[in-house]
Amino acid sequence: MSGTPALRFTRPSGFPWLRLLAALACAAVLEGSLILDSIAAGAKVHDPDRGTLTFSAETAVVSGPGVKRETAGAGDVLSGWSDPADRARWDVKPTRWGRYDVELVGAATGPEGALVRITLPGTNLVARIPGGGSAEAVTRIPAGRFYLAKSDPFSVEVRRAEEGASGGLRVRSLTLRPAPEGDPIVQGADGVLVLPSSASTTRSVTMRYEPATNKNCCGYWVDASDWAEWTYEVLRPGTYDIEVWQGCGGGQGGSDVVIEAAGNAYPFVVEETGHFQNFVPRRVGRVTYATPGPYTLSVKPQRKQAGAVMDIRRIRLVPANTAAVPAPAARDWVAARRIVVLGDSITYGGEWVEWVETWLHLAFPDAQIEVLNLGLPSETASGLSEAGHAGGAFPRPDVHERLGRVLEKLRPDLIVACYGMNDGIYFPLGEERFRKFQEGMTRLHDRAEHEGVRVVHVTPPVFDPVPLAGKTLPAGLDAYPSPYTGYNEVLDRYSEWLLARRTAGWEVVDVHGPMNRFLSEHRARDPKFLLAGDGVHANAQGHWLMAREVLRHLGAPDTIVSAETPDVLLTSDPRAPAVLAAVQRRQRALKDPWLTAVGHQRPGMASGRPLPEAQREAAEAAQQLQGKP
């Protein structure tokens, strides 16, 4: 390789700022990329040729008896090419991998034109330059596409493809332009346009499409001059919400970015999501397409705040008349790669947890959420246990005994905690017991948040003395071998205290109050109506009521959160039965093995299969959740 650089990156021209503003005011199109009048005067202009690799005649290493370099018009050309051994080579160290369009600029003076062979890593392309032109009639010839699998040094070689070729051939340059890697974008039957990262053209020096399963994004965005664009056809004119699935690691947020679409600019500030591959949907504006036809959308950083701008999984253009904006509460759930649910036997039963995760996957199919149910029967947050619990076999386990191991081994992004049913140990309200519950919940909350894990609290479900008629005890006793008749009033107070913690910034979902009202209304019509056959453990109806209040908190539509049964969820989407089955398979495969792996002090629990075996089954279920066989 000679001392002359063999590769030229096309970069911005660098003309003065006033001339730039004048150019923006006057020019509408530059190399096929729209320059938007609506962008603020201080907006950063991105080079439409960024990331393009240009191999010129001036920098070629030539060999063979016929090929030679000569100066002609706008610059050097390679001429001659009379011998099969004639060739030109360029050596390059690329900065990004990915797909490229290959373009040759040359001329052929013979009547039959000329065939040129281009050799690239793992690829051989043949381009025909039409004949009959003059020596100066240089033509841009698309030669095909090739994929560069890694950013290692490589060589590009050009030579004449025909044996015994005649007629003049002149080559001015060879160009590799970034190209999309995915399938063409097609507007869905529901009107939604999905712009996956794989379909983007990355105008970049370092940013690239990253195809790994856990990424599948435009990533490695460490240079704010890199940008991406999508080309698509709008079949249905109208107004669309722009939804960006954006990820950003801790301490990396705050970069300024602009989306350009249909002649308008939509600025937004990158938000941290806990990890670059935690993708959260963000609505950043509305774009109107007045007519059907081809359009482009681009994402252009304006200022980088920290080490990297962000990752983008995809952009969705959702018809505005059907687009429900995700509730703020849902964002932490969607961003979380792992959600751990803690609680007692009602949570361990798991139905309400399964319904919640099912809706999350239906509403946010791109989210990579794993929900682990680590409810433990008999457990409390207060650390209390009544004398003779479980016939004297063991005291109630305390969540704090295992909380540290949950945080260390599972490394959750979010904890959902549902305690209270066991915490008053089925006694009347007592000041000391109430204080222990408050301290235990505060301790759980603070310990998790100290580790950077957000906690969502769920108030306890109802206690119902009716199915325990003749087995409950009145107030005023020293001991309660059977539950206190008015124990639900104790849970009322516990729930009220939890809800009051919202003023301190706690996120609390109330299931207790709605279940109380539901039970009262239905009991008035049917005295035998039950939400818990034993007064404690919620039946299927009770689990749905718990789930729907969590879903209400997450912004599920009214058709779901007003339904008395989960049937409406199962019929709300054709995917719902399969998603529920996959969620149940994964949660149930992992529950007991993870409880065993973390460790606990509750005798009599099933140990489950070895964790690696359970994780393999869970991985298969995760593939089903993503619609893969």
At 570-593, the pLDDT tens digits run 999 999 999 999 999 999 999 999
**Sheet architecture: strand order including 264-269:** 201-203, 227-234, 293-303, 256-261, 264-269
| Least confident among 27-36, 186-195, 308-317, 553-562 | 27-36
Residue 501 confidence (pLDDT): 96
Phi, psi (rounded to 5 degrees) for 227:
-150, 170
pLDDT top residue among 112 and 535: 535
Domain 193-325 carries which CATH code? 2.60.120.260
At 307-338, the pLDDT tens digits run 999 999 999 999 886 545 567 788 888 888 89
Q: How confident is the model at residue 257 (pLDDT cuts 50, 70, 90)?
A: very high
The whole-number average pLDDT for the span 4-32 is 31
Residue 33 confidence (pLDDT): 30
What does the radius of gyration of the chain's CA atoms come to, in whole angstroms?
Answer: 32
Q: How confident is the model at residue 294 (pLDDT cuts 50, 70, 90)?
A: very high
Residues in contact with 10: Cβ distance below 8 Å, sequence separation at least 6, in sequence order: 47, 49, 50, 52, 54
Check if the beta carbon of residue 170 is closer than 8 Å to that of residue 107: yes
The whole-number average pLDDT for the span 130-156 is 80
Residues in contact with 98: Cβ distance below 8 Å, sequence separation at least 6, in sequence order: 147, 148, 178, 179, 181, 202, 208, 209
Position 387 pLDDT exceeds 70: yes
Q: What is the number of other CB atoms lying within 10 angstroms of the CB of residue 153?
A: 10
The whole-number average pLDDT for the span 370-397 is 95
Check if the beta carbon of residue 339 is closer than 8 Å to that of residue 369: yes
The domain segmentation of the chain, as residue ranges, is: 51-178, 193-325, 330-625
Q: How far apart are CA 53 and CA 155, in angstroms?
A: 12
The whole-number average pLDDT for the span 106-130 is 85
Residue 164 confidence (pLDDT): 60
pLDDT top residue among 462 and 182: 462
Pairing of strands 53-56, 33-34: unpaired
Residue 167 confidence (pLDDT): 63
The domain defined by 330-625 folds into Rossmann fold (3.40.50)
CATH 3.40.30.10 fits 51-178, yes or no: no
Residue 10 confidence (pLDDT): 38
Q: Fold match between 51-178 and 330-625?
A: no
Residue 160 confidence (pLDDT): 85
Position 384 pLDDT exceeds 70: yes
| Most distant pair of Cα atoms in the chain: their distance | 111
Q: How far apart are CA 229 and CA 77, in angstroms?
A: 33
Helices (H), 425-473: 431-450
Residue 66 confidence (pLDDT): 85
pLDDT top residue among 19 and 252: 252
Q: How far apart are CA 513 and CA 584, in angstroms?
A: 27
Q: What is the pTM of this model?
A: 0.69
Position 356 pLDDT exceeds 90: yes
Q: What percent of the chain has pLDDT over 90?
A: 70
Q: Which residues pair with 139 in a beta bridge?
A: 106
At 220-246, the pLDDT tens digits run 999 999 999 999 999 999 999 999 999
At 31-56, the pLDDT tens digits run 223 333 333 445 788 999 999 999 99
Q: How confident is the model at residue 277 (pLDDT cuts 50, 70, 90)?
A: confident
Q: Terminus-to-terminus CA distance in the chain, angstroms?
A: 49
